[in-house]
């Protein structure tokens, strides 16, 4: 478990670094040059024709620093969610295997528990750290020690509950990102309104270009942040649902393939 945690931490750090580099390079090379060119065209058209109706551009919608930060957080969160979804999928693959290799009518006595546990222990190291092998191994060890089937069921349930709590706590970083994105958007709103108020004297003189652009920063940052937050929370709940199903199916697997085969003298 410790190796898994270290590998995930390293992945999160490198995913953040790569996301920052790729998003910032995209902004420098594509988004901001196109947005600035579009705004210059709009300003020139407005000065040439007072009745000109300004158009909206996708590049202008994304061009500010707050939107860039929101996109960095979004793709970082997607990378973490993808990592967790793949890990959950690998663990679900074990549910399709019969790890104990018992016939339908076979029974496990307390003296046989150690031999059956060795079958689980013989799995590759990467698979032994998964939830299902840990549940089976804990249940068999408990049966060998207590010779009580109710204790075995309780032990299996406790391992599943602790795993569920662990998975829930590991999603806290994603929930923090989902909370931080609207906050970053609100920072852009405050900054845009502040800039607009600072340019109010120009609006009084008849030049409203600066004010409208500043207000555009305010509204665009909030809009992008809210859209990203809605999309991100959908995928967070999907991954959480996958993890919850994994825990419930593991508990059902232990009952079907192990606990009902146990027999006390």
For 40-84, the pLDDT digits (tens) are 887 777 777 766 666 777 888 888 888 899 999 999 999 999 999
Pick from 107, 119, 117: nearest CA to 144: 117
Candidate from 45-54, 127-136, 197-206 with smallest mean pLDDT? 197-206
Q: What is the pTM of this model?
A: 0.84
Tell me how many degrees the CA angle 76-77-83 measures, rounded to the nearest 5: 95
Q: Has residue 26 been placed in a domain?
A: yes
Contact 80, 12 (CB under 8 A): yes
Q: What angle do CA 215, 220, 223 make, to 5 degrees?
A: 130
> Which bin fits 175, alpha (ψ -120 to 50), beta or left (φ > 0)?
alpha
Question: Residues with Cβ < 8 Å from 111, sequence gap 6 or more?
Answer: 144
Burial label for 182, CB within 10 Å (0-12, 13-18, 19+), is middle
pLDDT at 236: 94
Closest to 143 (Cα-Cα) out of 247, 261, 25, 249 = 261
Range of 8's domain?
2-97+163-261
Would residue 116 count as lying in a domain?
no
Is 257 a member of any domain?
yes
Please indicate, yes or no, if residue 45 is contained in any of the structural domains.
Answer: yes
Q: Is residue 53 part of a domain?
A: yes
Residue 142 lies in a domain: no
* Residue 169 belongs to a domain: yes
In a domain? residue 52: yes
Instruction: Specify the number of domains making up the chain.
Output: 1
Rounded CA gap, 138 and 159, in Å? 8
**pLDDT over threshold 80, residue 156:** yes
């Amino acid at each position: 478990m410790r190796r898994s945690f270290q590998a995930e931490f390293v992945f999160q750090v490198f995913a953040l670094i790569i996301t920052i580099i790729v998003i910032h390079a995209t902004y420098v090379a594509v988004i901001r040059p196109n947005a600035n060119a579009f705004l210059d065209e709009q300003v020139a058209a407005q000065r040439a024709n007072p009745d000109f109706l300004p158009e909206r551009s996708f590049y202008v919608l994304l061009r500010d620093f707050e939107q860039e930060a929101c996109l960095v957080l979004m793709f970082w969160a997607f990378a973490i969610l993808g990592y967790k979804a793949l890990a959950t999928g690998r663990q679900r693959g074990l549910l399709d295997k019969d790890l104990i290799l018992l016939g339908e009518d076979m029974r496990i006595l307390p003296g046989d528990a150690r031999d059956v546990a060795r079958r689980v222990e013989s799995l590759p190291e990467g698979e032994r750290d998964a939830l299902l092998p840990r549940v089976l191994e804990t249940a068999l060890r408990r049966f060998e020690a207590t010779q009580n089937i109710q204790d075995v069921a309780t032990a299996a349930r406790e391992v599943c509950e602790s795993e569920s709590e662990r998975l829930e706590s590991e999603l806290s970083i994603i929930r923090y990102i989902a909370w931080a994105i609207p906050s970053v958007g609100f920072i852009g709103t405050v900054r845009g309104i502040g800039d607009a108020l600072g340019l109010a004297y120009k609006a009084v003189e008849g030049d409203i270009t600066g004010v409208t652009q500043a207000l555009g920063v305010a509204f665009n940052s909030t809009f992008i942040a809210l859209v990203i937050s809605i999309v991100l929370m959908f995928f967070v709940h999907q991954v959480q649902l996958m993890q919850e199903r994994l825990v419930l199916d593991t508990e059902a697997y232990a009952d079907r393939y192990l606990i009902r085969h146990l027999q006390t003298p």
